[in-house]
Amino acid sequence: MRQFQCSIAGATVVWLSTRLFMEIHQLRYFVAVADEGSFSRAAAKVRVSQPSLSQQIRKLEGEIGQPLFDRLPRSVVMTEAGRCLIEYARQILASISDARRCVDELKGDVAGKVAVGAIPTIAPYVLPELVVTFQEHYPEVTLEVVEDVTEGITRRIDAGDLDVALASTCRPSPTLRRESLGSEPLLALVPEEHPLAEKDLVEFDDLKSQRFLLLHEMHCLSQQVNHLLESRRLRPEIALAGSQLSTIANMVAASIGISIVPQMMVKHHATPGCVSLPFAPPVPERELNLLSNPLRFQSKAAAAFRREAAAALSAKDLSTTPHAKE
């Protein structure tokens, strides 16, 4: 099957053989519905009315000759035809985006849009300062920031929805380039009145009988902490699986349990009633990585953000520090 791309009456289309053509916005709507599992959420995402989106999906299904979605009472799921089309649709949209950026690069200026992602255990502690600095240096670049867990970040990188992302550990993939930005110590976080609060260094054996407050397992930090505990044959009681580190810290301050948190959280967000304690060597750490897709065109603006992010994290003091009352 031969593929052509052209413009008809101002609308870009993808023309497959002599019998089938798809408008680009139809593919964009199709991918949005597939990602969101809902026509209403997809319409909000692409900023069109739901009736308009539904009409375009029906037109696309008419061209293909098969339904792309099963409309269920509470959700929509892709049919076999939808599952066959989805990756081609993503590739077409990514190629169009890359082509537009490649042409824009000929202007010579560092401008345009950069879609930046970050996981929740990095975003609030790194992005505010980094974004301000970047926009001072590159005022013609518009940043679009997405905060998501690692699985969501890597999926968006793969799909071309993100140009670059700040993350920690992740699974290797042909569509994922990892640029190491170093590592960061993890600290024990205990209530101010806890017996461990007076120690200079904490050992993992000190934590054997403690109740733990951790993030939900969808967060890579939770997976890293669980791995640390299991590698030392510790299976503590998990009193809470939360969604935000700030919630965990407030629970620690209320003496509900203890936690293990990244050092950047302690340095940026003080929580009254908590004490952070460094571990005795070997100090547990987590990776800090900059992610991008090696198969996608990298604009000057995206490359500039990568440099700024690497410089910002290398300039931070990520060495282990003495414990401090928050």
Is 280 found in the same domain as 208? Answer: yes
Question: Which amino acid belongs to residue 276?
Answer: S
Q: What is the CATH number of the domain that holds 72?
A: 1.10.10.10
Measured CA to CA, the distance from residue 83 to residue 69 in angstroms comes to 9
In one-letter notation, the amino acid at residue 125 is Y
Share of the chain above pLDDT 90, in %: 57
CB neighbours of residue 119 within 10 Å = 22
**Last residue of some domain: 67, 90, 105?**
105
Domains: count for the chain: 3
pLDDT digit string, tens, across residues 268-312: 888 899 999 999 999 999 999 999 998 887 888 899 999 999 888
- Cα 254 from Cα 101, distance rounded (Å): 51
Is residue 268 one of the residues assigned to a domain?
yes
- Residue 146 neighbours by CB under 8 Å, 6+ apart: 115, 116, 117, 118, 153, 156, 161, 162
Tokens standing for residue 215: 């993030």
| Spatial distance between the Cα atoms of 166 and 181, rounded to a whole number of angstroms | 9
255 located within any domain:
yes
Residues 6+ apart with CB under 8 A from 29: 42, 46, 48, 53, 56, 57, 60
| Rounded Cα gap, residues 64 and 81, in angstroms | 9
Look at residue 276 and tell me if it is in a domain.
Answer: yes
Considering the domain architecture, whether residues 133 and 7 belong to the same structural domain is answered as no
Residue range of the domain that includes 250: 185-285
pLDDT digits (tens, 9 = 90+) for 25-78: 999 999 999 989 999 999 998 999 999 999 999 999 998 889 999 998 888 999
State the pTM of this model.
Answer: 0.70
**How many angstroms from the chain centroid is the CA of residue 313?**
17
Q: What is the pLDDT of residue 106?
A: 64
Using DSSP, state whether 307 is helix, strand or coil.
Answer: helix
Q: Give the amino acid at 66.
A: Q
Considering the domain architecture, whether residues 209 and 66 belong to the same structural domain is answered as: no
- Alpha carbon distance 145, 224 (integer Å): 25
> Do 167 and 297 sit in the same domain of this protein?
yes
Average pLDDT over residues 119-131: 94
Task: Assess whether 117 and 97 both reside in one domain.
Answer: no
User: What CATH number has the domain bearing residue 228?
Assistant: 3.40.190.10
Which token pair is 15? 């023309």
What is the distance between the alpha carbons of residues 265 and 221, in angstroms, rounded to a whole number?
Answer: 12
Same domain, 163 and 308: yes
Tell me how far apart the terminal alpha carbons of the chain are, to the nearest angstrom: 64
**Final residue of a structural domain among 81, 105, 129:** 105
Q: Quick one: 199 and 276 in the same domain?
A: yes
**205 three-state secondary structure:** helix
One domain, residues 87 and 212: no
- The residue length of the chain stands at 326
Residues 172, 58, single domain; the answer is no
